[in-house]
Amino acid sequence: MRQFIDHQDKRERLRFLCRVVKKEIQHLQYSAGKVFKEDFTEERASQIANDEEFAEQIEAFTSRFCRLQDTIGDKLLPAWLEMLGEKNSVTIDNLDKAERIGVLPSVEQWLELRQLRNQMIHEYIEDLAILADALQTAYQHLGFIVDVAESIITDLVSRSMIEKL
């Protein structure tokens, strides 16, 4: 009986995480639509100092991008692997498993996008060119992150571990 309850708890956690990820994707795409009406250049980055609304939009995009990647990599991915019967491990091993199973096209690309965090959050204070490049790169690879989340959710649905959202 206890094993059944644990399994149900894990399924409910997965359902919850999938709903959260879907909402995070929606909010991130909204922010992206605000910030990336045109290419994000160093010139546009220089507007941050004088435009509080624009600065908040950039902050929202950056925070939402990082939060989505964190939710997928630190919560959804390990919970999904556990439901598959895989031993939960350190992040790099979980990413390798996800790539091997086929929901993550490239561990290397995931890790490269992870490195954008410091450039988007800290480096802009010193170098607007770094900020512009990091933000534009994050935007260009937004589909990659979203596709990974949707692949995990699709896999869960196809295995009847959760119902379609």
Helix axes 142-158, 91-101, angle to 10 degrees: 70
Contacts of 51 (CB under 8 A, 6+ apart): none
Contacts of 104 (CB under 8 A, 6+ apart): 95, 98, 110, 148, 151
Whether the Cβ atoms of residue 120 and residue 44 lie closer than 8 Å to each other = no
Confidence (pLDDT) at 165: 77
Confidence (pLDDT) at 137: 94
Quick: pLDDT tens for 68-97.
Answer: 999 999 999 999 999 999 988 999 999 999
Whether the Cβ atoms of residue 99 and residue 113 lie closer than 8 Å to each other = no
Global pTM?
Answer: 0.91
Quick: pLDDT tens for 19-74.
Answer: 999 999 999 999 999 999 988 899 999 998 899 999 999 999 999 999 999 999 99
Q: What are the Cα distances from residue 49, in Å, to 53, 105, 126?
A: 10, 38, 12
Q: How far is CA 78 from the centre of its chain?
A: 14
Is residue 5 predicted with pLDDT exceeding 60?
Answer: no
Quick: pLDDT tens for 123-161.
Answer: 556 788 888 999 999 999 999 999 999 999 999 999 998
Q: Which of 92, 134, 89 is nearest to 113 (CA)?
A: 134
Query: Domain boundaries in the chain?
Result: 2-158
Confidence (pLDDT) at 65: 97
